[in-house]
Structure 1
Amino acid sequence: MGASLRRRSVALATGAALLTGTIWALPQAAIADDANPTGSITGTVTGDQIAVGDGLATAWLDAGSHYEVYYGSISANGTYSITGLPAGTYHVGFNELGYDDGETVTSWIEWYNDSLTLEDGTPLEVGDGPVTGIGADLDTIGKVASNPVISGTATVGSKLTVSRGAWPAGAELQYEWYAGEELLQEGTSASLVLGANAVGKRVSVDVYAYLYPTGTPSNDTIQFKRTLETAPVKAAALQASTPSVSGTATVGATLTVKAGTWAKGASLSYQWYASGKKINGATKSTYKISSSLVGKNITVTVTGKKAGHVTTSKGSKATAKVALSATPTISGSAKVGQKLTAKPGRWTSGTRLTYQWYANGKAISKATKSTFTVPSNLKGKKITVKVTGTKSGYATVSTTSRATGAVAAKSTAKPAGSQVAKPSSKTSCPKSHPIKGNQTTRHTKDWIYHVPGGQYYNATHPEQCFATAAAAQKAGYRASKR
């Protein structure tokens, strides 16, 4: 309908002197002449919007070809008085909101006595004196609620519905929905789903029909009723889930948050904590654990935001305490009959370590010690070892070594007995066998012998000692490059 009803409506100042004389050109009966009018109409009006104090009482004088309208304001306590009335026949109307631009827009007028139209109202004869006790209950007409009422919960996403209220038969209604003074929706729909733009505002509805103030049909003149306001619209609860953390709580591991199900369109943010203390900069959906957090429990809080909804934060359960772990290495030669040793590296103090050896990824039965002697049936297979650390209150962590090369057959070379000897100490060989044979673990077949005066001779820990370089070469060792 173009400009909204409220923008077209005018809240007029009240008072008979200002408003007396509004003329509605409708054919009616003749009126008696009175040069010094002294008549009046008084009474008390009740209604749920009367306390605002904007209401108007109107006395419509039947002037034959038209009506002359006299006004009196309705006070906040409901009393009114229309004075200076010439003698004649009147219809009294009560305008609860007090809107009347005298031409096209009027807030609803209920007619005395309990009628929807002037024609159906009870006429009053006014003479030289007062007519008193002319009152009305504007909340009902014939025991039916007069004004429309909003039902529903004033929360974003909820549906509000407005009742029609009491109108003349055949009235076709239009609805304008407001949040404060902001027009939300207009048209023929008596319902509205609240959006985010209504948060914190009170909702009301102007229900209107094309009627003259008399209650009869019109093409361009409007009467409207206004509902009471709702409570301020509340933001809706945001659908949220308690997040969980996947990953193992060990130094260097990456933890990932599983946010769960949140409202469609919600924007999620993250904050990680160590034993309840915010971790600076840890605001992504993943977090790589630093060494400074050993012994601390990790949690993550997910915060969801969406327009018109309550900002909501959900925290995960705490992980076990962060453990310090290491990737094990294997020392020894991957040869049939040779002993391999698992070197676990550095773990959290007090951690209990267990071992499991594998051949080509398959667990080797009963191979659960820190050392393992390679049997002949594993020839050609690659060996790994898994170390598992457990400690009360901490995450249980398992790490696996890199694989050795393929297990080689047992060496059949047998140096002459006089050419080979056992080391005399961890770092020394007998004077009779000064050449040190070292079986490095970097490559399973990279056995090296060192001669006195070589760069690494003094630092080398020998597995075997030889009298000559030839004997060392025969045993499968190569000469050191330095």
Structure 2
Amino acid sequence: MSLRSRLRAPLIAAASAALVGGLLAFAPAPAATASAAPAAAPKGDRPSGKAAMLARENRAAADGLTRSRAVFARSSYLCVGYKACGQAGMGSGGYAAVSDKMYWRMYSGHNCTNYAAYRMVHSGLPNQRPWSGGGNATYWGTSVPTITDRTPAVGAVAWWKANTGPAGSAGHVAYVEKVVDSDEIIISQDSWGGDFSWAVVTKASGNWPSGFIHFNDLKLVNKAAPVVSGVAKVGATLTASPGTWNPTDAKVSYQWFANGVAIPSATKSTLALSGSLLGDVIKVRTTAAKAGYAAKAATSAATSAVLPGVLSSTRAPVISGTLQVQHVLSLETGAWNVAPDSTSVQWYVDGQPIAGATVTKLRLTPDLAGRAISAAVVANRAYYDPITVWAPTTAAVAPGTLRTTRAPAVSGTAKPGQVLTVDPGAYRPTDATTTVQWLRDGQPVLNATGPTYQVTAVDLGAQISASVTVSRAGFTAMTLTTPHTAPVRVTPRIRVQQLRGKHAVRLTIRVTAPYVSPVDGTVVVRVQGGFRKVVQLRHGVARVRIVGMPKAKRALSLSYRGNRTVAAVARKGIVRTPGP
């Protein structure tokens, strides 16, 4: 009996019952994407039916969390449901008890991607999606192409692209439980809108996966352990071979151990035996790593105890403090196996001694920005060779932060012919330098970089501001922008002519402004006694006819409302209405 037949035999009755009970949904169903369960809409606003489903899918797609459904032929299923599969010895790897949780930010519950992600996390991977971008099943293989191939393996993720085989528009993923041969596999899977199941997939079925993703299933093999060579004596250097590995292109890292405890920062193929290792036995552990393979470690045989001859450090010096210009670092000098008669300190920058830096405090001056700091402690004791112990080298010192004590500002009148002036502000350190760039509507004005700016007709309608860049060696430069002025406008002039007829007065209103011709916009005409009319300027001219008012001398008010380049203005006068 074949493996497939043996696996199916105890499940025939359970699968038949599931089919009769309607547990299997074999009708084609569209794949969909969804995020974590969205908050419920107010009762009166909830869509229903197909519209509700589409709305949920659209919201879900925005989060990159996926729910996908795959439909196989009936004959492909070996079991359906957590209970039936568990009774048949085909479990979910514990997913049934934790399916309400999200793995790799996938949608929880019955969902193929959350199940596959859980199996990867359960196998030892962190609960963090191994790629950036969407989580739909169709993206899995394309997002990690270096560990995706056409070779099935137990523990790999079987992956279907969208609309391939049983998968819908979101694709499908499953967990490879068994590899019968190169043409047949057995998978476990979950499915949105369906249920947990085991199934047989063959190439002949047309449902063969698009690929297999080897997140954590391939194994590195150690053919020979690493070997330590050299004399185990303080001051000597031990060298480790990497060992022999398959595949041969695996990347090998090193960790040295003294008496079974990892030596801090000892991660190269060589190890200098400092006094702190006196009397210890030394081993090296090499770890091989390769994308798609589980890391593998191998340990060398132990050396003999390290011979005496020098002082040894029992606690290495430590540098503490904020790695930024203007801050102070402190050096804790460590401890020794035997109390030294004296110790001395020397600070270093990029491996070179810092003149005069021989105490346990170091102020980070601007010239140290971008450079790494280290420190050495030299211990001396009679009848012992001097020993130098280094504190771990820091990361690069960050530039200092400039501080604003007075913000920059622009003063002056934003009119053509006027001059604007910028106060660049004040900063700490006080010797920081400033450069100015004038802006028109937020864009740099060509060749406008001085402390003043001559407003011209080109600026009409624009808002003027200044960008001030503050810099100083050893500090992060910063740029501040002043508040912008009001739009640059010119002040117009209103003139009015009156032409009185027998029963009406005709007003001709002209609005002119320097640099702007013609002036457009509207004028509000008010005449004492209740007359009001809004007129549109045409080529800078508007006409108004006043009729039906009793004969009288009346107050006249003209208000030009202005536009982006011309300011608003008003004029008062007198008009004599001739009467009806």
Asked if these proteins are the same fold (TM beyond 0.5), I'd say: no
Q: Which one has the bigger helix percentage?
A: 2
Question: TM-score scaled by structure 2?
Answer: 0.37
Larger radius of gyration, structure 1 or 2?
Answer: 1
Greater relative contact order structure (CA < 8 Å, 6+ sep) = 1
Q: Tell me the TM-score normalised to structure 1 length.
A: 0.43
